Structure 1
Amino acid sequence: MTMQPTYAMDDAQWNKLIQDVAYYFNDLTLKRGFQYYKQKRVQPFRMTEPRKIKALVEGSDDYSVSINLDDFTLSRCDCPVSGPCKHMAAVLMNYAEQQERSVHKLANATAASALHIPSASPSPSPAAAYNNRQEQLKEQARQLPDQGIEEWRNYFAACLAPLALNTRNPQYVERSLSSIAKLKPQLKPVSEKLFSLHTHLYILEAIIHASGTPAGIYSPSLGYFTHLAVTELQDAIAQLLVEELPLAAEPDQWLRISDTIAYLRHEMLTEARDRLREQPRFSVCYDLLWRNWISPNTSGTELYTEEIAQLEQAEAELGAAISRNALLLAKSRMYFYLSEDQTAMTLLRSAAERPGLHPDEFMSFLTSLLVMGDWPRMAAWLTEIGPLLNSRIYNLQGYSDYWEEAVQHLPEVEPQMWSTLSLMLPTSREIYDEKLLAYGKWQEWMDYQLSIGKEPSDFRVKDLQPLEKNAPEILLPFYHQAAERYVLEKNRHSYKSAVKLLKRLAKLYKKMKREERWGLFMASFTLRHSRLRALQEELRKGKLIP
């Protein structure tokens, strides 16, 4: 759109623009902005007021840019970068061209600003500029209670602009939170929680994008302290989303909830996944939002069916850029909330076929069922999820604990537990072992150990004490066979191992009050191996024979 001639820029404003661009933009950003300008990526362009520009810039997506020429801290672009970006630079160069000013001078503003440029009117002092910015921030802050998420994010951008050059570390997070909270007015409880959530999410983005790392990707290049800041923010967000949200007291907040869902849906569907790392951060937020803030505050099915429609629409719009894992998982969650478990499980199985799904994302279904106390569904989902964990490196103790809860409240599902755990072998070996002993299934435990070739030496003495106490007869063949195998090795070390087992056998026979049978066995054993002088010596040392 052609710019109105009454909005022409004078020399003083041009000189101020060069100084501002040199201050707020780095050379690399200006270079990239110049490339976008040359490629004519700046499309719709208009000035709503003499010193305010709005434009659309073509990039990996179409990004909306708003620039305030009087105060750059109020300028914004809806691309992922927090702060001055190449899209904003391209718009300014397009603006310079329309004003018949030197685009190259603007693209090299850092060098140009070093020269003395006379100004028609004196620039405001640093103190005056600071006071002006503070007044504008106060005005923005006063309007926060009545504004939506987008306006909140504009306020965050203005608050964080002075910190643009700071190192991204825990101190940056602390300063950012303090800067945003400094002028924030009192909000109602639900608004306060939503504001806090978006504050943390915005700072998280600012850290990630400042590092050049796409959202959702853990990168060692972040550096230790930057990664520490990211982790602390993630923990704070998760903790906030675990807390109760009393939406019934503020039903007017559903519009902000809807905007929050839309934001997290997009981030969750487009974040990269690394199957060797922690659960993708936006997947966590999306899950917790629905589980703790939305589901407890709705009794119908409308929100879930609407979200399924939104996910399908996002699939059509994002195309190849969408994460299929995240899409299938999100749809599975919605059908889960609709109690359409077969559809939900089918979608979850499809998601599990692809790399990148974190085990905790399976477990979130079980957490919801635990809260509901729906034990039949819990057993069904435990049976479904167990085999999906087989191909993943994961501590199954949490999964085991869910089975304990299900069996405790619904004893008839115990056979279902044993069947599922046996199907998960060898992945489930550790918890399968523990549960067999905990449930007193001594023979099943022994059968399993023999099937995988275990020997008594593979266990500590205290590991076998429960069997020695409760079912000593089961250990007899286990010890006898192992002792005979040691003897067959025919070396001093194996003979010593055989004697240790025989001494434990003697105690078992005594406990079972079968000393006579033990005596017959030892007589036979000694006679059969009478030619093994070293073994005979070890038996005497062990006081098993005279």
Structure 2
Amino acid sequence: MQPKTMINDAEWDKLISDVAYYFDDLTLKRGFQYYKQNRVRSFRMISSRRVMAVVEGREDYAVSMELDSLTDSHCDCPVQGPCKHMAAVLMSVAESQERSVNMLANAKAVIDRKKAEALEASSAAGVSGSRREQAKKLAGLIPGATVAEWRDYMALLTAPLAQTVRNPQYAERALSAIAQAKADLPPAAELLFQLNAHLFILESLITPGGLHNAGALSSPGYALGYYTAIAVSELQEAIIRLMKRSLPLASEPEAWPRLKDTLAYVQLEMLTESRDRLREQPYFSFCYDQLWQRWIAPNASDPALYLEELEALRDRAGGLGAAVNRSALLLAESRMYFYLSDDKAAWERLAAASERPGLHPDELLGCLEPLAEAGHWSRLAAWLETTGPLLNSRLYNLHSYAGYWEEVVRRLPEAEPRMWSTLSAMLPLSGGIYEDKLLDHGKWRDWMDYQLSSGKVPSDFRVSDLQPVEKHAPELLLPFYHQAAERFVLEKNRHSYKAAVKLLKRLAKLYKKMKREERWGEFLDAFTTRHSRLRALQEELRKGKLIP
């Protein structure tokens, strides 16, 4: 395993400053998109100051990053200087260091923000005494308050920021304003207060005008600005980190009412938020899933809790009428049936939800992680079989889905035929992972049959891609190369003749490796005779030293 090399705080601050100086905003945005699309592969930190990776673009580009001197970094792409591939690798550096990816993606704004904060330091130091007194008073009320009252207090504390532009700086300042009313809370209550603070700021970011009206989230026509989206992404990362901490309800059962109030709030927002065709899972749908997976389900010993939630969902949906999002309702019901181990009912609702627009693939696969963590491999295999064919978005990276199949097959070898059946049924969407798994499992003939049926030609692959087949089953490449060479000749132009000759030379090496030189000679004689009238082809054959 690659050793963990860590960047300290000073090195991280310097990297942000260097990135802001070296990259323009557009390149960082494009690099951020490449990172989000999981295009960075073979990532390695050679040391805390040097990184190497391969980034998928029009081709696969090798990237070498020198973190001490970005000007000495290199990418194989045609761009001279800083490029989106370099930026994507830097985002992966941030992820590997458990640092904020969005700080790098927004490096210029981060640096500008620090400058602005330095200028505002004097005014910040002069916060009015009345506001300090208000924070102190609210801190005394928070321990005995309900979640609804917490939100009222948060609104008072953040009121001076009402006209502030919604960006990462706003989110930081709003959280800081809420933190001024620091109250002495027990551990579970403290975690719930922090979660509600983050949810409060999240709502203010995604609601037009920043109004805190429960159940009135962004309208279908409302799109987040770039810097607002960065702030939302950072908040979601913070919520994930927060919910990874255990909620000690066993030692603090009095926190259950606040947890249920928090759930009721998130449930309402989840059922009413808009669902455009976005690359990201809807914000409160994500929070609802995480809340159940991380905090409620691990503390729920009685299935009655899930039955209560099913009833609450239907009551809430009935009260909302036309305002309820049916996809969100179906997904939430599916999760409850999952926890009740009624997989058939859960699958029925997932299938119904998948037929509706605005569904993010992660919402179909949200139950896979808990099953893998619990080691329920037979049940996980059944979920993979059922949910895979429901995926219909080419925007989704299926590598995590394929990874779950690999975990199942490693522990239940008898499940392998079900994996192949499911992946083949998902074609062409599953083409990438299907090919990779055929190679990983040494199914050379199946891999070649798939390439031929897909209309692929050897030029679609790098030489290194074909090396495993050439090593283990070279005879399978013969028809692949033969057919491609003949197709190139039929195009009857100089460029295609050169491509045909290049393939013929690779064929010659294959025949030699297989010790079938005589068969190669017979083929080449027949090929040359059959195309003897194509003078340009004959010239290329001579240049390639295939004929005298």
1:271/1:167 Cα in 2 relative to 1: closer, same or farther (>3 Å)?
same
Report SS of the residue matched to 1:418: helix
- Does the 8 Å CA contact 1:217/1:274 hold for their aligned counterparts? no
The answer for the alignment partner of 2:38 in structure 1 is none
Greater CA deviation, 376-385 or 160-169? Answer: 160-169
- CA distance in 1 between partners of 2:183 and 2:467 (Å): 65
The answer for the alignment partner of 2:28 in structure 1 is none
The aligned amino acid for 1:500 is K
After TM superposition, give the deviation of residue 355 of structure 1 in Å: 0.7
Q: Alpha-carbon deviations, 1:350-389, whole Å to 9, x = none?
A: 1111111111111211111111111111111111111111
The answer for the alignment partner of 1:17 in structure 2 is none
After TM superposition, give the deviation of residue 444 of structure 1 in Å: 0.8
- CA distance in 1 between partners of 2:207 and 2:495 (Å): 63
The aligned amino acid for 2:363 is E
1:352/1:136 Cα in 2 relative to 1: closer, same or farther (>3 Å)?
same
- CA distance in 1 between partners of 2:144 and 2:244 (Å): 26
- CA distance in 1 between partners of 2:182 and 2:137 (Å): 10
- CA distance in 1 between partners of 2:329 and 2:248 (Å): 29
After TM superposition, give the deviation of residue 198 of structure 1 in Å: 0.6
- CA distance in 2 between partners of 1:498 and 1:230 (Å): 52
The answer for the alignment partner of 1:429 in structure 2 is 431
1:346 and 2:318 equivalent? no
> Which of 161, 179, 182 is 2:180 aligned to?
182
After TM superposition, give the deviation of residue 204 of structure 1 in Å: 2.3
> Which of 192, 195, 206 is 2:193 aligned to?
195
The answer for the alignment partner of 1:478 in structure 2 is 480
- Does the 8 Å CA contact 1:241/1:285 hold for their aligned counterparts? no
Greater CA deviation, 182-191 or 211-220? Answer: 211-220
> Which of 141, 156, 177 is 1:158 aligned to?
156
> Which of 517, 520, 523 is 2:522 aligned to?
520
After TM superposition, give the deviation of residue 301 of structure 1 in Å: 0.7
- CA distance in 2 between partners of 1:262 and 1:241 (Å): 17
After TM superposition, give the deviation of residue 391 of structure 1 in Å: 4.4
Q: What RMSD over aligned residues (CA atoms) do the two structures have, in Å?
A: 2.2
1:507/1:222 Cα in 2 relative to 1: closer, same or farther (>3 Å)?
closer
- CA distance in 1 between partners of 2:509 and 2:135 (Å): 82
The answer for the alignment partner of 1:205 in structure 2 is 203
Q: 1:137-176, aligned counterparts within 5 Å?
A: 137-176=135-174
- CA distance in 2 between partners of 1:530 and 1:524 (Å): 10
Report SS of the residue matched to 2:277: coil
- CA distance in 2 between partners of 1:542 and 1:211 (Å): 69
Q: 1:505-516, aligned counterparts within 5 Å?
A: 505-516=507-518
- Does the 8 Å CA contact 1:211/1:222 hold for their aligned counterparts? no
The answer for the alignment partner of 1:368 in structure 2 is 370
- CA distance in 2 between partners of 1:134 and 1:304 (Å): 43
Q: How many residues align?
A: 418
After TM superposition, give the deviation of residue 168 of structure 1 in Å: 2.9
Report SS of the residue matched to 1:249: coil
After TM superposition, give the deviation of residue 133 of structure 1 in Å: 5.5
Could you tell me the TM-score, scaled by structure 1's length?
A: 0.72
1:516/1:329 Cα in 2 relative to 1: closer, same or farther (>3 Å)?
same
Could you tell me the TM-score, scaled by structure 2's length?
A: 0.72
After TM superposition, give the deviation of residue 449 of structure 1 in Å: 1.3
> Which of 396, 399, 413 is 1:397 aligned to?
399
After TM superposition, give the deviation of residue 257 of structure 1 in Å: 0.9
Unaligned residue ranges in structure 1 (runs of 5+): 1-128
After TM superposition, give the deviation of residue 431 of structure 1 in Å: 1.3
- Does the 8 Å CA contact 1:242/1:288 hold for their aligned counterparts? no
After TM superposition, give the deviation of residue 221 of structure 1 in Å: 5.8
- CA distance in 2 between partners of 1:277 and 1:450 (Å): 32
- CA distance in 2 between partners of 1:131 and 1:542 (Å): 86
- CA distance in 2 between partners of 1:343 and 1:150 (Å): 34
1:413 and 2:411 equivalent? no
The answer for the alignment partner of 2:103 in structure 1 is none
- CA distance in 2 between partners of 1:521 and 1:289 (Å): 67
- CA distance in 2 between partners of 1:395 and 1:425 (Å): 14
- Does the 8 Å CA contact 1:216/1:280 hold for their aligned counterparts? no
- CA distance in 2 between partners of 1:523 and 1:369 (Å): 61
- Does the 8 Å CA contact 1:390/1:427 hold for their aligned counterparts? yes
- CA distance in 1 between partners of 2:144 and 2:257 (Å): 12
After TM superposition, give the deviation of residue 340 of structure 1 in Å: 0.4
1:132/1:452 Cα in 2 relative to 1: closer, same or farther (>3 Å)?
closer
- CA distance in 2 between partners of 1:437 and 1:333 (Å): 35
- CA distance in 1 between partners of 2:530 and 2:204 (Å): 79
- CA distance in 2 between partners of 1:250 and 1:378 (Å): 33
**Larger of the two Rg values belongs to structure:** 1
After TM superposition, give the deviation of residue 487 of structure 1 in Å: 2.9
Greater CA deviation, 392-401 or 428-437? Answer: 392-401
The answer for the alignment partner of 1:386 in structure 2 is 388
After TM superposition, give the deviation of residue 167 of structure 1 in Å: 3.2
The 4+ residue runs of structure 1 with deviation greater than 4 A are 129-134, 216-222
The answer for the alignment partner of 1:455 in structure 2 is 457
> Which of 291, 294, 308 is 1:292 aligned to?
294
Unaligned residue ranges in structure 2 (runs of 5+): 1-126
- Does the 8 Å CA contact 1:238/1:284 hold for their aligned counterparts? no
